[in-house]
Structures are given as C-alpha cells and as structure tokens.
A and B are shown apart, each in its own frame.
Chain A
Amino acid sequence: MKEYVYDSVYLRSKDFEEGNVLFETWDPNARYAWDAGVAIGRYLQGLKAGQLIGRHCPECDRVLIPPRMFCETCFRPTDRWVELEDTGAIITFSRCYVTWDMIRITDPQIPAVIEIDGASPGMGIMHMLSEVDPDEVQIGMRVQAVWKPAAERIGAITDIAYFKPL
C-alpha cells in the first residue's frame, strides 16, 4: 500500500503570495444593533448620569447588577430599581500581557470583576483597573469608579473610564 494518496510538497508563504496555491478569501459584512430593552436601557441611562443601578428580586431578596427584569434563579419578575454605590471590592482579576490582537505588552491590562456596594454578594460588574501598581492588586481590594466627564458620557459601560483603589 502506498504511503500517501497525493504527491506532496511543503508549502511556503511565497507559494501563496505568488499565486502558486489558489485560495479564496471573504470578509463577512456582519453588523448588528442590540435593542437594550427595559433593564439594560435603564442601566445605560444610569451610566450616562454617573449612577450605577440594580434591580431587586422579591423572591430571593437579591439586588442584581447589571439589572434584569427577571431573576434567573427564581424565574420571577424583579420589582424595583435600586441605586448603588460606585465603589466595591475585587472578586477576581487577571494581569494580561497579551492584547486581544495578540501583541505582547509589558504594562499589563487588568480586567477585574468588582462586587458593587449595595448589590448582593457575588453581584459584580466587569471593568478595568488603573492607577494601581499591578503587583499590588489582590482579591478583596477596595476600588472606586473613575467616571468620564459628564459631557463625554454616552450611555455605555465605558462611561466609567476604569476603577482605581480607594
């Protein structure tokens, strides 16, 4: 039995560049909007106003952030908005030395989940840390939102520039 079916050679990048190997490329034109609806809409309005907002579940008595119109644990409609502090404690974090387009960096990006004061335990929002020595960051560290100036806020999660240690 023959070891291979096709005659084979190693392909090199110049074989592609010079058109010796034929292939097709295609860039998808995929653009979307996301209707914010009731809960996210109100949340984004709050961000624009410099205010974090949650929702309360009457069944389990939790305050949920980001807010939602139903509690995923109890499957009950939530019943009221709750204004929350813009401070909290780090639940978990990571120092990232590779950007999302795969460039190695020496000063790490530090995403963190921040348990928000006034929300229920374990209820946090995902954001970035700055104005902090990366080596000093630890679970439980107290942090506060640094908001963009009001004129620059558009109703987006990036209306908070980052969180910094309290």
Chain B
Amino acid sequence: MIREVAIVGVGWSGFRPITPDLSYKELMYEAAVQAYEEAGIDPRRDVDSFVTVAEDYNEGTSIFDEYVPDQLGALHRPVQTISGEGIHGLAAAVMQILTGQFDVVVVEGHSKASNILTLPYILAFAFDPVFNRPLAVHPYYVAGMEMLRYQVESGTSHYECACVAAKNRNNALLNPLAGYGAAISAADVMASEPVAEPLTRLECAGHSDGCITLVLAAGETARALTDTPVWVRGIGWANDTPWLESRPWGEARYAQAAAEMVYRTAGIKSPRAEIDFAEIDDTFAYKELQHLEALNLCPPGAAGEWTAAGGTEIGGEFPVNPSGGALGQGHLLDATGLARVLEVVLQLRGQAGQRQIETAEVGLAFGWRGVPTTGGAAVILSN
C-alpha cells in the first residue's frame, strides 16, 4: 500500500439478541466513546472523516445516513454512509487515508436486528423480483442449495460442517462479547431441526444487536497516538454474479477474487504460512469451510477434514473464529465483518483473554454480505 494505515482504537456495544435498554443512537455513542478514548482523540477536533455502513431496509429509515453524525461526534464534518459489508466500509476508510487528504478516519457499523419485525421478508426483498421472489420460499433456501453443491463438489460431510457450529459456539463461551455461547457437539448440531436441507437450525447464525467503531490513522499519526497500532497490511473485495440460476454454487469465487486482491496488496505469497489465524464469515456453518478454501488457507476440499481434526480450534495449528464468529456472537447484519475485524485486533494486541492465541502476529478477517449475495471483503492486519 502506498501509505501506512493502522487501527488505533476500537469500541463496541453489545452483542446481545435484544437491546431494549438502548436506542440505536445510544448503542453507537457507547461504541464510539470507547474507541475515541482508546485512541486518545476528540472526534470534534481530531477526526478528518467518518464512514458508516448501513442499509436503509435494515434500519427502517430511508436515507439513513442522515441519522449518523450526532452520536459519532461528526456534526459539520465529512461523513459518508455506504451500503455494503462492514469490511467494505473499512476499505472505504483505508482508501480515504491512502489519498493523503485524511489522517484520521472513523469506521462504524451496527445492528438493531431485533427491531426488524419482518427480517426474513427483508432478506427476501433482496431477491430478483421477477425470477425468484414470486416463488415465496424462506431466503435460507439459497444457503441449503449452496451447502448441498459445496458438499458434493468438495467431498465434505455434514458432520464436518456441523463441527464448525460446535467449535464456534464453544469458542463463544470464552468471549464475554458473544451472545450465543453454548456447550454443544457436532451431533447436537446435526440433530437440530432442518431449515433448508441439508442445513439445520444450529448451522445458521442467530441475530444480535450491537455496534463496532474503529479509529484508523495514517502511519506517523498512528505511532504518535498509540504504542500498539494494528497495521492494515492489505485489503480486497469482489463480487460474483447475482444470478441464482447460473452462479458457481459449489465454490465462493467472490472470496477467491477478494483473496487474490488482499494477498496482492499485502504482498503475501503463501497465505497459510504467513498468516497465523483468521476470523471468517460463518453465517452458515458450511460457509466457514467454503471460505477457508476460497481464501487459499487450505487445499480445495480439505477444510472439513481439517476442522473435524481440530486444526482450526483455538489451540490448533490455525485458529479460525476464536471469537465464536457469527454463529457464536450472533449475526450483526452490516456490522458482521467489523466484528470479525474487532476480534483480529484484540488478538493482535494480546487482549483476547481466555481465547488468546499465543502467536498472533498476522490475522485475516473476511466478511460476506449474506444470502442471496455473492459479495465479500477481506483485510489483513498485523501487530
């Protein structure tokens, strides 16, 4: 990258299935204050630009960007809201710093999923109105179809997929932030009710409310603000076709393309050897395996066996989702990828408590926009 960029402050609020005690503005304020205090900055004076990630249909308010400045301290300042995955927002902020025109940029994403009373219908509204929506099936059918194709093409068993859900829910027990910790086994996961076969209920992430705020700074500013900057080494994002009728169902090509970009910008040649751990989208259990392979962190078709053998556990050779992932923390809508980034930052700083990875020097975070999309974004961070 043409300029050094670091994360110098993080803040969060949540993550819990319901948050009736706080309005979304109060939720955002809580996370923002924490991030600014960590970074030792006053947003009214020291922040050059603010980027938030929000989708009007998730907020229940059109032109939602109008409602973000107050609680971030962004009044009368440059503010931009983008609709995308949280890591797309991080990418936008990184690019602003790379222009040389901004030294300190804030990124925010949040979820008030509990306030969306018709959430499956909002998901369904993302489907093509002519070809798909009139069929009137719960939108998770796309995940069921994708899982089936992935299993057949990669030779992955249902048990191996279920191991992801068991691992992440157990990891979440070590994470005070996580709302869905549970001591469950792969057998429990497989025995739970079918949602869209082969997908079972415990293989689908529940939803959480919460907020994540990050403070980014350019190289010299970052060093002046903190002794423990977490450096952004590379960033990448990509989309595949929206066609459900002719997409490559078995493999996540959007993740392959995002990986190619993130490794190129980070100068990484052998991802598995040069990266110590990863936080990877696991909205559905099989997605963690499919994404691991697409991100070239293991050979095609090998992720399931690797996971079942314990290779991706916290004490394993390559920990994946030590935070508990979306399965363990709850899916945070647009902010889900920022929760992945938050965990990478905490691990790289050595602040991950009971779930701390011993040799955490380089970490990868990957976010996916969920069904029915083929949009993903990745970032590589190091301490």
Contacts and interface: CB of A to CB of B under 8 A. Distances in A.
Interface of A: 24, 26, 28-40, 68-70, 72-75
B71 interface: yes
13 contacts: A24-B134, A26-B129, A28-B122, A29-B118, A30-B57, A30-B118, A32-B60, A32-B117, A37-B21, A37-B25, A68-B25, A68-B70, A75-B73
Interface of B: 19-27, 29, 42-44, 57, 60, 69-71, 73, 75, 112, 114-118, 121-122, 125, 129-130, 133-134
Contact of B22 (A38, A72, A75): A38
B44 A35 contact: no
Contacts, number: 74
A35 B121 contact: no
Contacts of A40: 23
B129 A35 contact: no
A75 B44 contact: yes
Contacts of B134: 24
A64 B124 CA distance: 40
Given A38-B26, A72-B75, A73-B75, A30 B70 contact: no
A31 B118 contact: yes
Given A35-B20, A39-B23, A30 B125 contact: yes
B69 A30 contact: no
A126 to B, nearest CB: 15
Nearest to B128: A24
Nearest to B73: A75
B115 A33 contact: yes
A26 B69 CA distance: 33
A35 B42 contact: no
Nearest to A26: B129
A35 B115 contact: yes
Nearest to A37: B23
Contact of B24 (A24, A31, A35): A35
Contacts of B125: 26, 28, 30
B63 to A, nearest CB: 15
Given A26-B129, A70-B71, 13 more contacts: A26-B133, A30-B60, A35-B21, A35-B112, A35-B115, A38-B22, A38-B26, A40-B23, A68-B25, A70-B29, A73-B75, A75-B42, A75-B73
Contacts of A31: 116-118
B69 A69 contact: no
Contact of B60 (A34, A38, A68, A70): A34
A36 B112 CA distance: 12
Contacts of A73: 44, 75
A109 B25 CA distance: 31
Contacts of A35: 19-24, 112, 114-115
Contacts of B70: 68, 70, 72
Contacts of A39: 23, 26
Contacts of A74: 44
A75 B69 CA distance: 11
A29 B129 CA distance: 14
A74 B33 CA distance: 12
Nearest to A25: B129
A69 B26 contact: yes
Given A37-B25, A75-B44, A24 B130 contact: yes
Contacts of A29: 118, 121
Contacts of A36: 23
B165 to A, nearest CB: 29
B264 to A, nearest CB: 39
A33 B71 CA distance: 20
Contact of B116 (A24, A32, A37): A32
B362 to A, nearest CB: 34
A32 B117 CA distance: 5
Return the 9 tightest CB-CB contacts between A and B, nearest first.
A37-B23, A32-B60, A72-B70, A75-B73, A29-B121, A31-B117, A37-B26, A37-B22, A31-B118
Given A38-B26, A72-B69, A33 B75 contact: no
A38 B115 contact: no
A75 B70 CA distance: 8
A29 B116 CA distance: 11
A38 B21 contact: yes
B23 A75 contact: no
A53 to B, nearest CB: 16
A133 to B, nearest CB: 34
A24 B19 CA distance: 38
A69 B29 contact: yes
Contact of A33 (B73, B117, B121, B122): B117
Contacts of B42: 75
Nearest to A35: B20
A38 to B, nearest CB: 6
A34 B118 contact: no
A32 to B, nearest CB: 3
A70 to B, nearest CB: 5
A39 B22 CA distance: 9
A32 B29 CA distance: 22
